Structure 1
Amino acid sequence: MTFRELHAGENPLLLPNAWDVGSALAFAAAGFPAIGTTSFGVNASAGQPDAGGASRDATVALVARIRSLPVYVSADIENGYSDDPVEVGALVAGLGVDGVNIEDSADGRLVPPAVLAAKITAIKRAAPGVFVNARVDSYWFHEDDTVPAVLERAKAYADAGADGIFVPGAADPATLEQLTAGIPLPVNVLVVPALDLDELKNLGVRRVSTGSLPYRVAIDAAVDVARAVQERRDVPTATSYDESQQRLLDFASRTKAG
């Protein structure tokens, strides 16, 4: 199946989000057919707060390395790292990825829909085969967070050529049902703790992203290991050193061969 076809499967596409090569290797080894990146995780790994364009260089470097994996790769490019649609299109064309997430906000506020629409059009002109997942941040920032307002933005992005619509922060079942009914493209949400994949499927959701959740859980787990030793508790089991090392050796060999 192509990356686009994964959005039309029997079940929603579960897209785990990696923040470095090691996490991408682990997701690939677990059998996930596609991997996204997370701007929060990439930024946090470099000691930077999320958003503001700080993840550009690290994201470009990360996808350049992991695109050799036998999985589809979608890059989180925040708002495209530029106000110039042509620059955004050129960036995406040079990434060599299967998809991108691009958002309609800057500095924690929504931007006019025409701003993102222009970037989407430029991306599709420069890289027509890339799956553009247009992110509507209305619920994320609690700004214009009504179904009609979100549907209006989604229509603008669909008309501009978007292939999917990402609505992070949308979690209410009734809201999700209205959004999926009103958006003629695959709808993507973040993990909703109260709803499993079957329930999201029944609500019309076609893609579920883990976002920064795996990164944050990994950090918590790392602290818990240290505390377990300190408190004389049982230490959690983990993938062996040998297996982890072999993944890296295989990756290095694949990268060199490529």
Structure 2
Amino acid sequence: MTFRDLHYGDQPLLLPNAWDAGSALAFAAAGFPAVGTTSFGVNASAGRPDAGSASRDATVALIRRVASLDVHLSADIEDGYSDDPGEVAAFVAGLAADGAAGVNLEDSAAGRLVDPAVPAAKIAAVKREAPDVFVNARVDSYWFHEDDTVAAVADRARAYADAGADGIFVPGVTDPATIEQLAAAIPLPLNVLIVPGLGLDDLQVLGVRRVSTGSLPYRVAIDAAVDVAAAVRDGRDVPVATSYAEAQQRLVTFAQRADRPPGAAP
């Protein structure tokens, strides 16, 4: 199935978000058909706060590194790292050449919504330059509690749909009734973050077509790492994990595949 097809399956597409090659490899090994990146996790791994275009080079490097995985890749590119639609389009075309099947493109900057005409122009430019890339247009109204009504979000979503977007991402929305209203009002597959208490079947009934984990796996992994050290310090049982041998073999196999010259026999 293509990445686009995955948004129209029997169940919403669950997209885990990786922050480095190891996490992407683990998600792929677990059988997920698509893996996204998380700008928060990518930035945090380098000791930087999220946003501010700091994730650009690391995101490109991550997509290139894991392009050999047998999964579809979607890159979180914040606001496209530029105010110029042509520059954003060229950047996305480069990511597509590196192996990305989709991108997330948000409609905020410095913690505030921007005029919807700005991201719409970027989306239109991207679709002209890289028409096969799945553009997931992010509406940050609920994320920043600004113009956070169904009508306002639907207006932004329709503007992005008219510009050529393939999906709409509304992070921060958690109320089931609101999610259902958004899904009915938005003419494209609706993407939300994980909603506590609502499984994939529940979200499907509400009209959701894609569910992202966002930075949650990164934050849980950090908490788990601290807990291991604290367990040893405090005399508690140490949690069970994938064995060193299994993790190492997974990396050896991946490295052999990833480092193989293009066109070489498997």
The two structures have a TM-score, normalised by structure 1, of 0.99
What is the alpha-carbon distance in structure 2 between the residues aligned to residue 83 and residue 3 of structure 1?
27
- Cα distance, 1:194 vs structure 2: 2.2
Aligned pair count? 258
- Which residue number corresponds to residue 18 of structure 2? 18
What is the alpha-carbon distance in structure 2 between the residues aligned to residue 57 and residue 93 of structure 1?
15
Q: 2:239 aligns with which of 236, 244, 247?
A: 236
- AA paired with 2:6? L
What is the alpha-carbon distance in structure 2 between the residues aligned to residue 149 and residue 33 of structure 1?
33
- Which residue number corresponds to residue 56 of structure 2? 56
- AA paired with 2:35? I
- Cα distance, 1:247 vs structure 2: 1.3
- Which residue number corresponds to residue 202 of structure 2? 199
C-alpha deviations, 1:32-68, integer Å up to 9, x for none? 0000000000000000000010000100110011111
- The percentage of aligned residue pairs carrying the same residue is 77
- Which residue number corresponds to residue 93 of structure 1? 93
What is the alpha-carbon distance in structure 1 between the residues aligned to residue 95 and residue 71 of structure 2?
15
DSSP-derived class of the 1:189 partner:
strand
**Runs of 4+ in structure 1 over 4 Å off:** none
- Which residue number corresponds to residue 149 of structure 1? 152
- Which residue number corresponds to residue 28 of structure 1? 28
What is the alpha-carbon distance in structure 2 between the residues aligned to residue 64 and residue 92 of structure 1?
13
The two structures have a TM-score, normalised by structure 2, of 0.96
What is the alpha-carbon distance in structure 2 between the residues aligned to residue 200 and residue 110 of structure 1?
26
- Which residue number corresponds to residue 208 of structure 1? 211
Q: 2:251 aligns with which of 238, 248, 251?
A: 248
- Cα distance, 1:196 vs structure 2: 1.2
- Which residue number corresponds to residue 133 of structure 1? 136
What is the alpha-carbon distance in structure 2 between the residues aligned to residue 57 and residue 256 of structure 1?
20
DSSP-derived class of the 2:132 partner:
coil
- Which residue number corresponds to residue 166 of structure 1? 169
Q: Where does structure 2 lack aligned partners over 5 or more consecutive residues?
A: none
C-alpha deviations, 1:124-174, integer Å up to 9, x for none? 011000000000000000000000000000000000000000000011011
- Cα distance, 1:178 vs structure 2: 0.5
